[in-house]
Chains A and B, each alone.
Chain A
Amino acid sequence: MRQFLSFLWLSLLSISVFSSSAAADSDYHEQLNLRPLPFSGLLASFNFRSNTTVSEFEKGNFRFFPRSLGQILQHAGTRELHLRFSLGRWDAETWGASPWDGAREGGTGVELWAWLEADTDKEADHKWLTLTNALSGLFCASLNFIDGTRTTRPVMSFQPEGDHSTVTNMHLLYGVLPHEVVCTENLTPFLKLLPCKGKAGIATLLDGHKLFDASWQSMAIDIRPICPPGGECVLQIEQTIDMVLDIDRSKRPRGNPIPRPPPGHELPCDASKPYHSHDTCFPVDHAANQEWSLSQIFGKPMKGTCPLTDPAVPPVCLQVPDSRSVFVSGGVREKKNPNHISRCFDIPPSTELEMVLPAPDDVTAQSTVPTDIVTPKSPLLYAERSFTGHGQERGGVQTILRNPSPDTAVDFIYMESLPWFMRIYLHTMEARVAGHSANKSSLIQQVYYRPAVDRARATQLEVRMRVPPASTVFLTYDFEKSILRYTEYPPDANRGFDVAAAVITVLNKGQIQGEGESTTKSGGGGGDGGTTKGGRFAAYTLRTTTLLCSLPTPDFSMPYNVIIFTSTAIALAFGGLFNILVRRFVAADEGPEGGLAMVVGRLKGRLLGLLKGVKGR
């Protein structure tokens, strides 16, 4: 009977999870997904989603939707908005595919793209300016520095996620600030937008100290209109925070944060080594088998649930194999999902949730493949980008794109928005498969290039490419560094200039072929990617790291040196010329006695006189 009941529960749960994600009809829900990663990492994905009907939104009645943001959207004519604050690098080699298939990820710094309703480009620019300035005030970020030189209008890389069937005159604008350092002052306004603030529910775990200490974190805000079939259109705001915490680092007590080597008897040793004995120890490489608890990782336990949240959606889910045991505080119900790799927890309101994940029983891990955590899914594409070349005049960019799949090619769009002072030579752009010299033409399928205008517009480069299965492609191009004006250098000019991350959008095969087959959701993200129609435009999105481009920097006392040097030269020339013109030249014995000779002569005479006087005495 019990088993039957639990089975019923499970099926009910799975139905509710999938139906809620598909229809998005509940007004508010929040969910925290915890997934241990290899090498003692822990991915925590916070997701908050609230809906408001479009009619209520237009009347100005805000309940779950934040009023401060709603006003900005109305004022700037924004139909869809995506804002990202990110820090660090997602280590795809170790951690696998990024959560939400990369749809909620941004490049380091701040990234913003929005669809604005405007009749002309000029009007769109004006609204964009309003939008960036208002958001800058709301999120305490330097978003107002997204000016014309940092704004592009992507052509291929982005597609609206929402339903915009009624609007025809939409403009997509994209701006990025790679230099922006995301910090606590951005988190506080982010939390203020939530209906329960940070006072109840999973948001109580969010703390600036832990969030910005993470190995990687990304805060995302997505606003889009969604029209469910047969229902009223709703405006949906989805706030997402993903972070990868280092368990070792998080477990360090706050009062004593300096890492120290553990004493010998506490070292975890690899007992499989032949020389392992009581006085010889080969330390275990990674500490994935550690025990951790929620309050150790986040600094505090979770305080109840937000009363507004949809009760059908469990607030906390943990993705570990069913074989591991998890201890939770009393009153919390654990429900294992049918896929055997995740479980969710139903928490009664006003109960503190504490969760302890003890170390697995087989501490002496024999195999290299850890069985105690869910193996991360490998991403569709690996990408890394770096500078090549040397010197202060020219440089190059090389992006290495690796397709891990053994049998399917990957189609994607590679987008870069480069600052205007990096002038790229488009003719040098080439893609080659590692190991092969021929077959270049089939790699690059389409290029959209909009050259920069000095001090007015950024370079926009979008390349549609294909990487054959199980191969690595090098995409390279050269560029020239231009010299800035004296006042255009930032205060820390010698640090270099940040170049925004490249956005790589892996295209959805089903979408391309127009067959409309619904894509399989990745099991890792623990939810849908926010789409309502079958088949997203992007199957996967990833971003490279930002680059630091060093430009020739002048000596900043130069203007004064120049002023003084030229003035001295002019003065010398003028003085000589003027004296030649004005002075009269006579023989040396004809001129008036003067200058140094006269002074010396007078001194000598006086000395001689003194000497004579001494002798005479």
Chain B
Amino acid sequence: MSIQQPPDHGATTFESPVSSTGAATVSNGAQSKKQPPPEKPSDVRRRSHIILAFWLIVLCLGLPIWWRTTTIYRADLPVQEMLDWADGKACRPVFPLRISIQANALQEQEAQNLLRLTQHALDDLNDFSGHHLRLQLAPPAATENHDSESVLTIRLVPGDTTTAKFDPHEPMLDITYPPNAIPSPTSSSSSLATYVAGQLRSTFAEEQATISHLLSTNAIPSEHRPQGLSPDVSESLSKRTTRSVKYAPTYHLTFSLFTSGPLPSSWDIDGAINEYMKPVLDVLSPIHNFTIDTQVQLYAAPGVHSQVLNKEDLSSFINAAEWPLSPSIGGAPTINFIVFVGNQTIAAPSQGPGEGDDAPGSASHSWLIPQWGTVYLLSLPDDTTRLSSEALKQPLLTFTSHLLSLTGTPQSGSLPLRLSTLARIRSADLLLRASSTLGSLARLALALPSISIPSRVADGVSKTMHHLRLACETLGGPEGLAHARIAEAEAERAFFEKSMVGQLYFPDEHKIAVYMPLLGPVAVPLVMGLLNELKAWRKRRREAAEQGAGKKKE
């Protein structure tokens, strides 16, 4: 309707406002311009529809697509449950130890009575609810074969005096008692019962202390924790746990002969191992497998060259840069045993190594490197070309005793008992380790909201928790160890998931640099259009209200 006019210079318009030749002159003189014709209501409606449509597309299509394509996959983790495991709320480690008593010489009645009294005495002595000794009477028929359910069998044999002796090959305790020591059915105390209880208590004292130490170092609530671990005991226990190698089903033993010169260049290590170490390895075989390799290295210079080695020198003695002591590649942790032929000696034990806890004679030749292995210094005549098996006896015996402490075997008691204790300590250790790994994973997932959590991690977590639950139920038994082992392995796998660790560095500035060129120019007209439309809509409403008011006045 309105016709495009020839371009009018602004200045002319300003200087001579009256010269405009519009058809519709404005009544109030201040407004010099002519107004556009009023818009049709259909046009106005269409415009708001257009703006609404654009915004709908942006909000309903654009935003979800953007969200979907840039989001990071995070599998659901049972975070609270994981934290419960880590805090020890999910499982209360209880070790019910069954001890059977064989008393073939006693009558049923007497035996029951003795058992009751001993149990009483034990309960009085015990202050740690997690570690519970329960006595039971073995059926008299099973005289010889050892009951697999029970941890220890006590054989009561009549004798002259009260003595106790461990069977060296089986978990059995032989106790002899004088005939007058049988308690009468009415008496409430008995010296024999107290004696047996005391024996049991001292036998399991170390295990109790170790387990309670394990629990106390992990975040187990204090009500489950035993009191009364003296700081002395606690310190020695923590020393021992830090010394022992991380649990693995298989250990790789590497025996190395290092010599400072060209001789000796061979050794009879095979025979020496078979003779001195194999028996112990066989005994340990239910818990650990061992693979063995040996090597001879000539011209090996130690990291310390002084003649007398001080305590500080011992830690830097291993020349890690030059000695080929690379760990085995099979996945099993390696324990190194090194015989170093040279003329160096260790300084006197008075000021000397705190590590040398064995017999003083061996402490002056060898030392134990926590979680790594042992070094044995051997001085030989210069012209020895071959080390015989006899010359290796002392080093190998030292290695054997160090191997036991490196695997974390307790130090008191008979060997079968020590091994079953080792299995229990290991399962508790693995259980706690897996739980704390779960806790770390949960805390990690909470702390880094931008880290991706693949579904494999969730699988691993659920598998871990399943096995943890099973392990917790069967703690103390062999299947408990197996479950704890699986749980620990799964937890480690979930925690060290590769795609989770490799978090891409993608800074926010980067995102802005990529989004701005598109979003800026697109967003400005959209937002301005919306704002203008809102303004116009408000104006229309006000005008309508004014008109309505005017009509009313009329």
Q: Looking at the complex, which one of A66, A578, A579 makes contact with B324 (CB distance below 8 Å)? A: A66
Chain B CB within 10 A, most for which of A72, A130, A582, A604: A582
Min CB distance A129 to B, Å, is 13
User: How long is the Cα–Cα vector from A392 to B14 in the complex, in angstroms?
Assistant: 65
Question: For the complex, is B11 an interface residue (Cβ under 8 Å from A)?
Answer: yes
Q: Looking at the complex, which one of B51, B294, B522 makes contact with A575 (CB distance below 8 Å)? A: B522
- CB contact list, A43-85 vs B, under 8 A: 59-63, 66-68, 70-72, 75
* B5-28 near A? 1/0 per residue, CB < 8 Å: 101101101100000101000000
Q: Are B262 and A601 in contact (CB under 8 A)?
A: no
**What B residues does A62 contact at CB under 8 A?**
293-296
**What A residues does B295 contact at CB under 8 A?**
62-63, 66-67
Min CB distance A486 to B, Å, is 15
Known A-B contacts A61-B294, A307-B262, A578-B526; A598 and B2 likewise in contact (beta carbons under 8 Å): no
Q: Are B520 and A571 in contact (CB under 8 A)?
A: yes
Of the candidate stretches A159-167, A239-247, A321-329, A586-594, the one touching chain B is A586-594
- CB contact list, B502-553 vs A, under 8 A: 513-514, 517-518, 520-522, 524-526, 529, 533
Question: For the complex, is A597 an interface residue (Cβ under 8 Å from B)?
Answer: yes
Q: Are A589 and B20 in contact (CB under 8 A)?
A: yes
Q: Are A68 and B33 in contact (CB under 8 A)?
A: no
User: How long is the Cα–Cα vector from A604 to B5 in the complex, in angstroms?
Assistant: 23
Known A-B contacts A67-B324, A134-B329, A590-B36; A308 and B20 likewise in contact (beta carbons under 8 Å): no
Question: For the complex, is B232 an interface residue (Cβ under 8 Å from A)?
Answer: no
User: How long is the Cα–Cα vector from A196 to B13 in the complex, in angstroms?
Assistant: 104
**What A residues does B8 contact at CB under 8 A?**
588-589
User: How long is the Cα–Cα vector from A246 to B471 in the complex, in angstroms?
Assistant: 70
User: How long is the Cα–Cα vector from A321 to B440 in the complex, in angstroms?
Assistant: 74
Q: Are A63 and B517 in contact (CB under 8 A)?
A: no
Question: For the complex, is A4 an interface residue (Cβ under 8 Å from B)?
Answer: no
Q: Looking at the complex, which one of B33, B328, B517, B518 makes contact with A593 (CB distance below 8 Å)? A: B33
User: How long is the Cα–Cα vector from A588 to B520 in the complex, in angstroms?
Assistant: 29
- CB contact list, A576-613 vs B, under 8 A: 578-579, 581-582, 584, 586-591, 593, 597-598, 600-601, 604-605
Known A-B contacts A62-B295, A578-B525, A601-B14; A587 and B326 likewise in contact (beta carbons under 8 Å): no
Q: Are B298 and A308 in contact (CB under 8 A)?
A: yes
Question: For the complex, is B263 an interface residue (Cβ under 8 Å from A)?
Answer: yes
Q: Looking at the complex, which one of B7, B269, B270, B292 makes contact with A588 (CB distance below 8 Å)? A: B7
Known A-B contacts A60-B292, A138-B326, A196-B298; A601 and B35 likewise in contact (beta carbons under 8 Å): no
Q: Looking at the complex, which one of A59, A137, A196, A581 makes contact with B50 (CB distance below 8 Å)? A: A581
Interface of B is mostly: mixed
Question: For the complex, is B496 an interface residue (Cβ under 8 Å from A)?
Answer: no
Known A-B contacts A575-B525, A605-B14; A587 and B262 likewise in contact (beta carbons under 8 Å): no
**What A residues does B514 contact at CB under 8 A?**
560, 563
Q: Looking at the complex, which one of B3, B10, B20, B524 makes contact with A597 (CB distance below 8 Å)? A: B10
Q: Are B50 and A587 in contact (CB under 8 A)?
A: no
User: How long is the Cα–Cα vector from A217 to B518 in the complex, in angstroms?
Assistant: 57
Q: Are A571 and B521 in contact (CB under 8 A)?
A: yes
User: How long is the Cα–Cα vector from A228 to B268 in the complex, in angstroms?
Assistant: 25
User: How long is the Cα–Cα vector from A563 to B521 in the complex, in angstroms?
Assistant: 14
Question: For the complex, is A221 an interface residue (Cβ under 8 Å from B)?
Answer: no
Interface of A is mostly: helix
**What B residues does A66 contact at CB under 8 A?**
295, 324
Question: For the complex, is B322 an interface residue (Cβ under 8 Å from A)?
Answer: yes
User: How long is the Cα–Cα vector from A591 to B296 in the complex, in angstroms?
Assistant: 99
Question: For the complex, is B265 an interface residue (Cβ under 8 Å from A)?
Answer: yes
Q: Are B326 and A200 in contact (CB under 8 A)?
A: no
Question: For the complex, is A363 an interface residue (Cβ under 8 Å from B)?
Answer: no
Question: For the complex, is B299 an interface residue (Cβ under 8 Å from A)?
Answer: yes
User: How long is the Cα–Cα vector from A134 to B11 in the complex, in angstroms?
Assistant: 85
Q: Looking at the complex, which one of B5, B269, B291 makes contact with A589 (CB distance below 8 Å)? A: B5
Q: Are A587 and B5 in contact (CB under 8 A)?
A: yes
- CB contact list, B285-302 vs A, under 8 A: 291-296, 298-299
Min CB distance A190 to B, Å, is 12
Min CB distance A594 to B, Å, is 11
Q: Are A578 and B54 in contact (CB under 8 A)?
A: yes
Q: Are B291 and A564 in contact (CB under 8 A)?
A: no
Q: Looking at the complex, which one of B3, B330, B518, B533 makes contact with A571 (CB distance below 8 Å)? A: B518
Q: Are A590 and B324 in contact (CB under 8 A)?
A: no
User: How long is the Cα–Cα vector from A579 to B51 in the complex, in angstroms?
Assistant: 10
Known A-B contacts A582-B50, A593-B33; A307 and B518 likewise in contact (beta carbons under 8 Å): no
Question: For the complex, is B43 an interface residue (Cβ under 8 Å from A)?
Answer: yes
**What A residues does B265 contact at CB under 8 A?**
63, 195, 307-308
User: How long is the Cα–Cα vector from A308 to B298 in the complex, in angstroms?
Assistant: 10
Residue on B with the closest CB to A69?
B324
Residue on A with the closest CB to B267?
A63
Chain B CB within 10 A, most for which of A137, A192, A591: A192
**What B residues does A586 contact at CB under 8 A?**
2, 36
* B326-360 near A? 1/0 per residue, CB < 8 Å: 10111000000000000000000000000000000
**What B residues does A579 contact at CB under 8 A?**
525
Question: For the complex, is B34 an interface residue (Cβ under 8 Å from A)?
Answer: yes
Question: For the complex, is B47 an interface residue (Cβ under 8 Å from A)?
Answer: yes
Q: Are B529 and A582 in contact (CB under 8 A)?
A: yes
Can you list 16 A-B pairs, Cβ within 8 angstroms, ordered by A? A61-B269, A61-B293, A68-B326, A200-B299, A307-B298, A308-B262, A560-B514, A570-B518, A571-B522, A582-B533, A584-B43, A588-B4, A589-B20, A589-B34, A597-B10, A598-B10
Q: Which 3 A-B pairs have the closest CB atoms?
A: A571-B521, A60-B293, A567-B518
Extra 7 A-B pairs, beta carbons < 8 Å, given A567-B518, A589-B34, A597-B10: A75-B329, A570-B522, A575-B524, A578-B525, A590-B34, A593-B33, A605-B14
Chain A residues with a Cβ under 8 A of chain B: 59-63, 66-68, 70-72, 75, 130, 134, 137-138, 192, 195-197, 199-200, 306-308, 560, 563-564, 566-568, 570-572, 574-575, 578-579, 581-582, 584, 586-591, 593, 597-598, 600-601, 604-605
